[in-house]
Amino acid sequence: MKQQRDKARRPLLERPAVWAPAAAILAVGLLIVLLGPIAWWATPAKHLQGKDKAETRTATRQTLLAAVGGLVLATGAAFTARTFYLTRRGQYTDRYNKAITQLASDKLTERLGGIYALEHLMLESEREHNTVGEVLAAFIRESTRPKPSSPPSIGPVGAEQTSSSNADSPGPPTDVQAALTVLGRRPSRPEPNPIDLTNTDLTKANLAGANLAGANLTGTNLAGADLTGTDLAGANLAGADLTGADLADADLAGATLIRADLRDANLSGANLSSANLSSARLRGANLSSANLRDANLRVAYLRVAYLRDAHLRGANLSGAHLNGADLRDAHLIRADLRGARLLSADLRGADLRGANLSSAHLSRADLSGADLSSAYLSGAYLSGAYLSEAKNLTTEMVAQAALNERTLLPEGMPHPKKAPEE
């Protein structure tokens, strides 16, 4: 009895013995109506007689049957497409669940299989792109723990600072490196959220040529990492540790590098246009031929940095520490160097047209061959500076600066003021 009651309660769609005959009767009825009244009504046979009238109605019926057949085929195709879509979605879901299970395994080979399975899913399904990216980023964050390091300095930016060495680090684990590689070569598609790798330990990671544009790498340890040619445009690297990292030819346009540690990093040929490097530590960094146009280097620490042929047009270097820096042939057109410390800096052949050097400290700096057209030297300290071969240096400029007897000026130009010893 119970089985009979359950059977009676089943929906009609699950009981083909009930609805199939009804559907067949309905289809026959519709066909009779279609070939009968509808065909008669649709036939323009008012002025036709006999055989002509019959032939016209036959043609109308054939047209109606063809239309119905086309409708049936279109409906079938739509149902087939819908079925294929649902089946495909189900397959993606199954593959995703299996990959996640593998990712949580304690076996390296299974974790690697899960990572590459997720990559295949990302490549095949645009819909799964963001989910897979977020899962892999979470896996990297959870699999790495920042190593203890010295706390950031709270004293003057120019002060010497030390941090823990990363020389003995073996680099990321194999599965983390694999996940980084997959993220770095993911398809270029719109992403509502940036890749989140904040506060991860990616010491000596291989990210050469990776696509990390717009990524959030705040506080991430990338010391000694290979980032050559990496796309980091618009990325957030505030407070990141990039000591000794190789960023040659990397794209960091518009990136945020506030208080980032870039000591001894290789940034030769890198694109840092409009990047924010305020208070960044760049002691000994190689920035030769780097593009730093309109970059913010306010109060950045660039002692003994290598900036030969660097493009710094319109850059903000106010208050920057550039003592002993190599700025030969650097392009500093309309750069803001107010209050910058350039003691013993090498500025030979530098283009300083329109640069603002007000109150800058240029003691013992070498400006041989430097172009100072329309430069501002008000209050600049030039004690011991070498200016005898500087180009377009005028008496008016010198009159506004502070000099001493050791300052070498072009022949015949007087020493209007004495600068205090530094």
Reported as a single tens digit per residue, the pLDDT across 199-213 is 999 999 999 999 999
Q: Give the model's confidence band at 172: pLDDT under 50 very low, under 70 low, under 90 confident, else very high.
A: very high
Domain segments of the chain as ranges? 74-146+171-186
Q: Is-contact 183 202, C-beta < 8 A?
A: no
**What is the distance, to the nearest Å, from the Cα of residue 154 to the centroid of all Cα atoms in its chain?**
29
Q: Which residues lie closer than 8 Å to 318 by C-beta, 6 or more apart? A: 298, 299, 336, 337, 338, 339, 340
Q: pLDDT (tens digit, 9 = 90+) per residue, 69-107?
A: 666 666 655 556 555 454 555 566 888 889 999 999 999
The helix/strand/coil state of 250 is coil
pLDDT at 236: 98
Mean pLDDT of 222-236: 98
Which DSSP symbol is given to 95? H
pLDDT > 50? residue 222: yes
23-37 mean pLDDT? 59
- Answer whether residue 253 shows pLDDT above 50: yes
Mean of per-residue pLDDT scores for the chain = 84
Pick the closest to residue 397 from 375, 414, 419, 413 (CA basis). 375
Mean pLDDT throughout 386-412? Answer: 91
Q: Do 242 and 224 meet the contact criterion of CB atoms below 8 Å apart?
A: no
The whole-angstrom separation of Cα 311 and Cα 196 is 31
- pTM of the predicted model, to two decimals? 0.76
| Residue 5: per-residue pLDDT | 52
Distance of CA 314 to the CA centre of its chain: 24
At residue 414, the pLDDT reads 76
- Give, in order, the Cα–Cα distances in Å from 151 to each of 73, 190, 252: 71, 37, 26
Per-residue pLDDT tens digits for 119-149: 999 998 888 899 999 999 999 999 996 555 5
> Taking the mean position of all CA atoms in its chain, how far away is CA 342?
33
Could you tell me the two tokens for 234? 């618009």
| pLDDT value at residue 109 | 95
**What was the pLDDT predicted at 287?**
98
User: What per-residue confidence (pLDDT) applies to 74?
Assistant: 66
Tokens 């009979």 correspond to what residue? 4
pLDDT on residue 161 = 45
Residue type at 260? A
Report which residue type is found at 371. Answer: D
Whole-angstrom distance, CA of residue 380 vs CA of residue 369: 19
Lowest mean pLDDT among 52-61, 233-242, 266-275, 311-320: 52-61
What does each C-alpha distance from 16 to 27, 78, 263, 338 come to in angstroms? 16, 22, 76, 87
Contacts of 330 (CB under 8 A, 6+ apart): 307, 308, 309, 310, 311, 312, 347, 350, 351
Helices (H), 227-371: none
4: phi then psi, degrees, rounded to nearest 5: -65, -40
Mean pLDDT of 359-379: 96
Residue with structure tokens 């650097």?
Answer: 330
Q: What gap in Å lies between CA 205 and CA 201, rounded to an integer?
A: 9
pLDDT at 339 over 70: yes
Residue 421: pLDDT band (50, 70, 90) is: low
DSSP state of 234: T
Mind giving me the DSSP string for 244-285?
Answer: T-B-TT-B-TT-B-TT-B-TT-B-TT-B-TT-B-TT-B-TT-
Residue 374, Ramachandran bin (φ over 0: left; ψ between -120 and 50: alpha; else beta): left
Residue pair 160/94 in contact (Cβ under 8 Å)? The answer is no
pLDDT at 152 over 50: no
Cα-Cα-Cα-Cα torsion 406, 411, 414, 420, nearest 10 degrees, comes to -20
